[in-house]
Structure 1
Amino acid sequence: MNPLTELTLAQLQQRTSVKWRTYAADVLPLWVAEMDVPLAPPIAARLKRAIDLGDTGYPAGNDYAEAFREFAAARWSWDGVEPDRVALVPDVMLGMVETLRLITGPGDPVVVTPPVYAPIFAFIEHADRKVLTAPLGDDGRLDLNALDDAFQRARSQSEHTVFLLCNPHNPTGTVHTRQELEGVAVLARRHGVRVISDEIHAPLVLPGASFTPYLSVAGSEDAFSLVSASKAWNLAGLKAALLLAGPAAASDLARLPEEVSHGASHLGVLAHTAAFREGRPWLESLLTGLNHNRALLEGLVAEHLPGAALVRPEGTYLAWLNFRALGFDEAAGNGGLAVVTDLAGPARFFLDNARVALSSGHVFGRGGAGHARINYATHADILTVAVQRMGRALSERRASAS
């Protein structure tokens, strides 16, 4: 069964999460990273059992880390997850901030690769660290020369420099190859840069690509990674994530304040544990549905949005659309000053004229102007209607301009 076809638009519109409550009821929301799927049965059963027992206290034990270790070994043939080098954190982004506090100080530089997940800018700045950018290449992949330059600039400012890696990458859906990650590790060691890898989308790799955990790469021994089941099983409202340390980062992880783990939800821990331990069959069905929707989106863009360019995602359920050739642009902006609901350029146009909500490209930082991110983890019928609406809006725009 395809989880993406189980819910109707009328059912989805009863939801009260941010995806379905930010815009008016006539808007098709294809923006924030929530999927239009029911809860995976093993997760629902585990949560129901906890609720029936009144088991809503504080999280305990190491089951979450053990479940992820089993998942990583089965999924990626990676045996590098050591539960004694794993810490529970509230979510991936707060885990990133706490890791920055462990290995950097106020004002220290953090290198990012825009266009990149928009809240990263704000989290870094609110943590009183400084953003340095190494933009992706024109092909949407990591530019090792740009990283080399950024690492040099960062190290000239501080001995405590971090590279925040998005693996797989959001918003482009790029899945970094092992060779690319090995190149990152070589540069990081050469310049004395610590790496924190955000791997929240790791289970969502589509046919044609394969995921490489950064901590499995030679030279990553002093790095960290952050994981959760949040994106792959649609658990954003059930907070719980894991912070993993490489062997040479264990002493840093040991300094993580004990109270950090208090921010995770007990129900979240139960849900994420069930996802990694029992949710693999459901995940396989989801990936089949996402692969179908990816192909559908490619065809819809070609048919209804001529002149727009789609970066074919290799992972995640997010796709990056380039509308610059159609005359859309906006000030590139500073990602740190933008919020995810800020709209400009094509996203503003399609909300106003097609009643389709996309994520605005400019909030993802440099390189995002004239782009929009679309979430295709929805029913194929909803995706089809949304792109058809966008196409009609573009046709009317062309007609009015002629």
Structure 2
Amino acid sequence: MTSIPHHTSGEPNPLHALSLESLRCRTSMKWRTYPADVLPLWVAEMDVPLAGPVVRAVTEALALGDTGYPAGTAYAEALAGFAEKRWGWDGLAVERTAIVPDVMLGVVEMLKLVTGHGDTVIVNSPVYPPFYQFVEHMDRQVLQAPLGADLRIDFDALEEAFRQAVSGGRRAAHLLCSPHNPTGTVHTAGELAAVAALADRYGVRVVADEIHAPLTAGGVDFVPYLSVPGAESGLSLMSASKAWNLAGLKAALAIAGPAAAVDLARLPEEVSHGPSHVGVLAHTAALTDGTAWLDALLTGLDDNRRLLVDLLAEHLPAIGHRPGEATYLAWLDCRALGLGDDPAEVFLERGRVALNSGIPFGTGGAGHVRLNLATSPELITEGVRRMAAALA
């Protein structure tokens, strides 16, 4: 894989562009869930203006009345080009892709292809809460294989989970979060190859949620799961949603390894009707023409990661924190503060700052909070100030 360092793109840092007053005009979940006196640093929305190419693509579509159903392979072609340039991966075959409504609904559809009712899906906790919600709603059993103390995959725990999941001859899947949410861990090529080898040994199918793939820290390489030896039977979900703040413009791609093409071919045709055509256009524009904007964002996120380290050291030194290698999310260990299992509740009530509670992330989440770094340095500084004030 090729390491792409962050460099000056000529674009302004989008994290510096919007005032708190303008952000409070937004009507999305991040800004309307809590009262106006609460500073929201929680759900994975970014406080940025959209990339110019995205705005142009959507505006042109609306001017044309081009708001029908999605068609064609432009999105897949754009992602394949991005993957080759960004990650040195030329193995994303357009003919082994399918448009799906979004990453989590794509995960559901992939799990339907490779497991049945009552089968087990293994996750590496603490992990994105919808992994539990969506899997259980589709009548599968969630089995946790917790990360190690270093917040990386614990292969002894993973192997034991695989062994339990397939006992009695049942099918099983491993829902892999890569990069990992909430820890920001980027799995190495060696770790992913070890996952693939274990999955092959136990007959477990791997479905990788790679939605945060473009959001790596400077000097960190993202490795697509399907690029490693032994992952030929894997399935991946990718999207421009997180990296370009397009959650409200629904679209994602399911990608099959060579040995999983027959599975993807069984995807019901009606699934392709779920994505937004305008969303597909927006995501395609982002991947094709929005990389300069992305580079400016990544540089800003690197600055914000360093800022958070300094602020915690000064104001909340008892909080444990390892800067993430990817995503724009920070996982904070607050157990030494004596705030109980749900410190987010204390920070909200006493400090009027909204963070994600660690409890819904599963084993390893109690006593933790997740903080969203995709905002201005001023709002991060204010958020930490409010957290510290909650302890006074």
Is the TM-score greater than 0.5? yes
Residue 215 of structure 1: aligned partner: 226
Residue 286 of structure 1: aligned partner: 297
Deviations 1:62-120 (A, max 9, x none): 10000000000000110011111000000000001111111110000000000000111
Question: Matched residue of 1:36: which SS?
Answer: coil
Question: Matched residue of 1:243: which SS?
Answer: strand
Counterpart residue type for residue 243 of structure 2? A
CA distance in 1, matches of 2:96, 2:237: 12
Question: Matched residue of 1:351: which SS?
Answer: helix
Residue 160 of structure 2: aligned partner: 149
Residue 59 of structure 1: aligned partner: 70
Question: Matched residue of 1:231: which SS?
Answer: helix
Counterpart residue type for residue 352 of structure 1? E
CA distance in 2, matches of 1:72, 1:347: 37
CA distance in 2, matches of 1:104, 1:390: 43
Counterpart residue type for residue 244 of structure 1? I
Residue 39 of structure 1: aligned partner: 50
Residue 118 of structure 1: aligned partner: 129
Residue 352 of structure 2: aligned partner: 355
Matched, 1:231 2:228: no
Q: CA deviation at 1:47?
A: 0.5
Report if aligned partners of 1:197, 1:214 keep a CA contact under 8 Å in 2. yes
Long gaps (5+) in structure 2: 1-11
Report if aligned partners of 1:350, 1:356 keep a CA contact under 8 Å in 2. yes
Residue 248 of structure 1: aligned partner: 259
Counterpart residue type for residue 307 of structure 2? L
Q: CA deviation at 1:325?
A: 1.1
CA distance in 2, matches of 1:46, 1:20: 25
Residue 164 of structure 1: aligned partner: 175
Q: CA deviation at 1:207?
A: 1.4
Report if aligned partners of 1:110, 1:161 keep a CA contact under 8 Å in 2. yes
Residue 74 of structure 1: aligned partner: 85
Q: CA deviation at 1:182?
A: 1.1
1:379-390 alignment, distance < 5 Å: 379-390=376-387
Counterpart residue type for residue 173 of structure 1? G
Identity among equivalent pairs (%) = 62
Which of 135, 138, 141 is the matching residue for 1:130?
141
Q: CA deviation at 1:328?
A: 2.6
Q: CA deviation at 1:60?
A: 1.1
TM-score under structure 1 normalisation?
Answer: 0.94
Deviations 1:114-133 (A, max 9, x none): 00001110100001000011
Matched, 1:313 2:324: yes
CA distance in 1, matches of 2:368, 2:176: 21
Which of 366, 369, 379 is the matching residue for 2:366?
369
Report if aligned partners of 2:339, 2:346 keep a CA contact under 8 Å in 1. no
CA distance in 2, matches of 1:158, 1:320: 37
Deviations 1:133-165 (A, max 9, x none): 100001111111110110001110443110000
CA distance in 1, matches of 2:86, 2:114: 30
Runs of 4+ in 1 over 2 A off after TM superposition: none
Deviations 1:291-343 (A, max 9, x none): 0000001111111112111121110000100011111332xxxxxxxxxxxxx
Counterpart residue type for residue 251 of structure 2? A
CA distance in 2, matches of 1:218, 1:268: 33
CA distance in 2, matches of 1:222, 1:52: 42
Counterpart residue type for residue 205 of structure 2? R
